[in-house]
Structure 1
């Protein structure tokens, strides 16, 4: 069997580096969601932490290594969640963090990056433009560039979620994972393959930002000219070849969902689970909504991966509108 870039022993070791506040997040059966979805549903809640997303599991590893090496500067591109996480992890270790983001990114995410003490540089264009600028800053200043999903630490951090799922006492049939750059999907997928091979690994992406899903289906990198979705955290256009190689080894399926289903998923999580989530975190619920027959009679786990959402947009979405987003 071919191997991914990940190693289960390194993933286990990573737990010793990550601040415990980000570990052992709630995993629970949410029966209130089940009548509307037609299957048993458990939630893995990755929002109950200081940065309200799973991203700090990876940035904790990166920041710890940089501090041990005596490095003091790091730069990343971010749609918002990675930047917050790196700012939080870096602040406690004396690192100077620069985050490059699109000026059109969710304002609430940008405000939190600033509040956590990072230097924020805004660029015109989308997340891919931010990635290009961050790389240029790293080259010019000679500092560490953190590239989400490409840098293995980000995948290893996300993979610790997989360890927690694999150790769950209640068995489940499938795990639904938001698919963007691929760190979450490849990390969790690797552990499922190694420790719970009977669990189906299903990646979910918005139909308006389908690059990684198309790449998985065609088994080659497929870029898109645009990414138009309210789920800004997964709105990439240029998949990373090494990440795609890993995804091909660990994912059983990759599906696309409509914007309206994402909003309905957010609404269901709000109304029936009491959760305020960003669009990316509702992708798993959206996938069930669009294919109830596939999941009928099964037990699925959906990873609720982030809750950094613009309050105004969230209110509009809860009211049934697709307007008000980025």
Structure 2
């Protein structure tokens, strides 16, 4: 019996609160990509929705419960995707949404936060400083703070991805999950360990943003002074202790990948799957590139978690 904050019955029930546009995303085998990587590759495409990321599964669940409680306003910190998702979900439930974000976040993500009607407050610093600003806003204005990965709804919403993966994986297969704050990793990991325990769950982070991976390896919270990666969506420095506790129970491994492998992964997804993705979404492909023997001949599922990427930067990275 898994002893985490997550609950399988709640996860199953949460699908009723999530707009169907975010559920049942495509899961398909990509033979062209697999041929390049020496294994069978299936793609779980979490970008085929109005906010182009998996985050709305969690914000749909969170805002539905907050609206039922009579909450009128919420605030969050975001690297970009959570803010857009919370704005989208909050707007359709009549919630006033404020997002604290770094002024260095990709412009495309900031513009899309504004486009869904959220109020955007920029900080002159990284995501962790935006998180501090969101806490301050919540305290000063008396609004509800939604914190990704700490709020269980963000984890259990993301866990519905796992429910959709179960029928497509078998013992010996591997599922590769981008690891940032931990909501998707703990959610998907919880479901797979409960319903498909023979499947290997491998989390992937950039070498330049390793805090959660280092914490998982040492079984204690490890922080870093800075991050250096193009994968802005997973570039946190301060893991949340209770999220780490959950992660320790539900994943099999956590690996670090280099920037060059992330860029190559993005290029392969474009050339062989026709997908334009943000760097965080290519972490799974990067993990296969860096350890091909580990995955050779196996069926590997990679979750394409986000597609909000600045096209000018994308062209520089992949040479498109």
Q: Give the structure-2-normalised TM-score.
A: 0.98
What stretches of structure 1 move > 2 A for 4+ residues in a row?
167-172
2:82 aligns to what?
82
- Which runs of structure 2 are paired with 1:253-272 in the superposition (5 Å)? 253-272=253-272
1:57 offset after TM fit, Å?
0.1
Question: In structure 2, how many angstroms separate the alpha carbons of the residues matched to 1:168 and 1:299?
Answer: 10
1:127 aligns to what?
127
Q: Which moved more, 1:303-312 or 1:60-69?
A: 60-69
Q: Secondary structure at the match of 2:74?
A: strand
Question: In structure 1, how many angstroms separate the alpha carbons of the residues matched to 2:250 and 2:99?
Answer: 30
1:5-36: CA deviation from partner (whole Å, max 9, x where unpaired): 10000000000000000000000000010121
Question: In structure 1, how many angstroms separate the alpha carbons of the residues matched to 2:61 and 2:2?
Answer: 26
Provide the alpha-carbon RMSD of the alignment: 1.1
Tell me how many residue pairs correspond in the alignment: 320
Q: Tell me, which stretches of 5 or more residues in structure 2 are unaligned?
A: none
**Is contact 1:280–1:305 with CA below 8 Å preserved after alignment?**
yes
**Is contact 1:43–1:301 with CA below 8 Å preserved after alignment?**
yes
Question: In structure 2, how many angstroms separate the alpha carbons of the residues matched to 1:19 and 1:167?
Answer: 22
Cα distance, 1:255–1:169 mapped onto 2, change above 3 Å: closer
1:53 aligns to what?
53
Q: Which moved more, 1:61-70 or 1:301-310?
A: 61-70
1:180 aligns to what?
180
Question: In structure 2, how many angstroms separate the alpha carbons of the residues matched to 1:302 and 1:223?
Answer: 27
1:2 offset after TM fit, Å?
4.9
2:206 aligns to what?
206
2:286 aligns to what?
286
1:43 aligns to what?
43
Cα distance, 1:42–1:172 mapped onto 2, change above 3 Å: farther
1:94 aligns to what?
94
Question: In structure 1, how many angstroms separate the alpha carbons of the residues matched to 2:202 and 2:38?
Answer: 17
1:324 aligns to what?
none
1:108-153: CA deviation from partner (whole Å, max 9, x where unpaired): 0000000110000000110000000000000111110000001000
